[in-house]
Homo-oligomer: A and B are copies of this chain.
Amino acid sequence: MKIAIVSIGNELLSGDTTNTNATWIGKKLTDIGCTVIQQITIPDQAIPISNSLAQQCVLSPDFVIITGGLGPTDDDITRKTLFDFVGAESIFDEEYWAILSKRFKRFGMDIPDSNRNQALIPTNGDIIPNPVGSARGSKFDYNGTFLISLPGVPAEMEAMMKESIIPMILEMGVKPKSIKTIRTAGIPESALIEQIALATQKNHGCDIGYYPSLFGVDIRISNPKPDPVRNLFNEISDLLGVSVYGEGKKSFEEAVILLAMDKQKTISTAESCTGGLIGHRLTEISGSSNVFKGGLVVYSNEAKMKLLDIPINLLETKGAVSEETAKMMAENVKEKFKSDYGISVTGIAGPTGGTEEKPVGLVYIGLAQKKGVKVKEFHFGNDRKRNKLRTSQVALNWLRLSLLND
C-alpha cells in the first residue's frame, strides 16, 4: 500500500513548528505494512496545494494523506482548494452547525461566523468525524487514489487516523509487519546494547531499532513474520531482566501504577524541586486513585516545616537540600498519608541557586517503606526542565524496582 503525505502550513516551512505529524503518520502506516513514498510540505496557498496534489497523484499512491489548513481562520484554504481539485461542491451542514453552536454555548460563548466553513461538506466525498475537535476531515476517491484531508492539530489528526483511516487501510488487506517493542528504564543505551549483545549478534533476521529518551530506551524489533520477532523479544527481555518495564505502548507511569495495584501498595509524595511533577505523572493514569494517596508540594522551607514537620534546626544546620532532609521528608509524608511508600525529592533545579558545596543539579531522592528509608544523591546538570524530568524518572523507577521486590 503506497502512501504520500502532504503537509500544509507556513509555520512548517518557516521552521516555527517541526513536522511531527509526518513522523507520526509515517511511523503508524509503516508499522501496519504501508510504504510512504514521498512527503511534501507546502504553504497555505491554493496554487501550491493543487499543484502538489497533482504531483502526488502522478506517483499513483493508494492514499494521499493531507494534514493542516482546516481551522476556522482565513489563512486556511485547504478545504476550498481540495473541493475544487476533485470537482466537489460544498453544502452547508445545518445539523453539524447546530452541534458546533451548542459546543460553544457549553463554554459560555456564541459561535463566531468564522466557524461556518467547518460545517461545509462536499457533494461527492465522505466526511471523517473528529472525536476531539471541531474541524472534520474529508475523503475523496480521485482516479483510484484516496485523498484524505485531516486537521493539522496533532491530537485531532491522531484521533482521526486511529478511529477512521488506519482501520480503513487495514480493511483493504494490507499485511502488517510483525513488530514488538521492549520498553526499558534505568539503563543507558550503550550499556543496554552490551547487555543484549548475546541475543542481537546472532543471525535472527530481524530489524532492531533503539529509541532513547529521558525516560529510558525502547527497543523495536520487526520482521515480516512473527516467530523470529517473538523469539528475539523473549531473549532480549530475559537478558535485560528488571530493566524492562513493559512492552508495546505501555507507558512507564502505567507500569508503576499497575504494579502498585498488583502489590496492593499505596504511595504518597513530598516534592520540593519537582514541584508536583511526580504526582502529575502518577495521575496521568486512570485508576491511579487506588494507589496514589496524594502529595505535598513543599516548595518553601516554611511549607517543609509546617506541613511535613521538618525541624527548623535541621533545615538550618543541614539545609533543605540534604540527605537528612530528604530522609525525613520521605518518612514523614509516608506517615501523614498512612501510605506504604513515601517518595521525597529535594534539590537545586537551577539554573540559579547553586553554591560551590551544593551545585545546581544536586538532588536527593528519598524512599521510605516498611523496612526503612533510603536516600540517594544525584547530580543532574544545569537545565531546569531536564533536571525535573530526570529526578521524577529516577524516583519513579526506584519506586518501581522496590515494588518488584515487595
Give the interface of A toward B (CB within 8 A): 10-20, 22-28, 30, 36-43, 48, 52, 55, 71-75, 106-107, 109, 111-115, 132, 153, 155, 188-191, 193-194, 207-212, 220, 269, 271, 273-280, 282-284, 286-289, 292-300, 302-303, 306-307, 336-338, 349-353, 379, 381, 383-386, 388
Contact = CB atoms under 8 A, between A and B. Distances in A.
Contacts of A193: 72-74, 112, 114
Contact of A40 (B24, B39, B336, B381): B39
A14 B24 CA distance: 9
B336 A307 contact: yes
A211 B16 contact: yes
A115 B38 contact: no
A41 B19 CA distance: 11
B16 A19 contact: no
Contact of A18 (B20, B28, B295, B307): B20
Contact of A189 (B16, B26, B72, B298): B72
Contacts of A386: 132, 155
A289 to B, nearest CB: 6
Contact of A384 (B28, B153, B277, B284): B284
A302 B296 CA distance: 14
Given A294-B298, A307-B294, A381-B132, A277 B274 contact: no
Contacts of A306: 336
Top-6 shortest CB links A-B: A275-B283, A276-B276, A15-B27, A276-B279, A15-B26, A294-B303
Contacts of A300: 289, 293-294
Most buried by B among A75, A294, A381: A294
Contacts of A23: 12, 15, 17-19
Contact of A132 (B20, B337, B383): B383
A388 B283 contact: yes
Given A38-B48, A294-B300, A349 B153 contact: no
A191 to B, nearest CB: 6
B292 A282 contact: no
A43 B30 CA distance: 14
Nearest to A29: B15
Contact of A22 (B41, B189, B212, B384): B41
Contact of A16 (B27, B43, B194): B27
A37 to B, nearest CB: 7
Given A295-B299, A297-B297, 19 more contacts: A10-B209, A11-B220, A12-B23, A12-B26, A13-B30, A13-B39, A15-B24, A15-B25, A15-B30, A37-B43, A38-B40, A71-B210, A75-B209, A109-B191, A114-B193, A275-B280, A280-B388, A283-B297, A293-B302
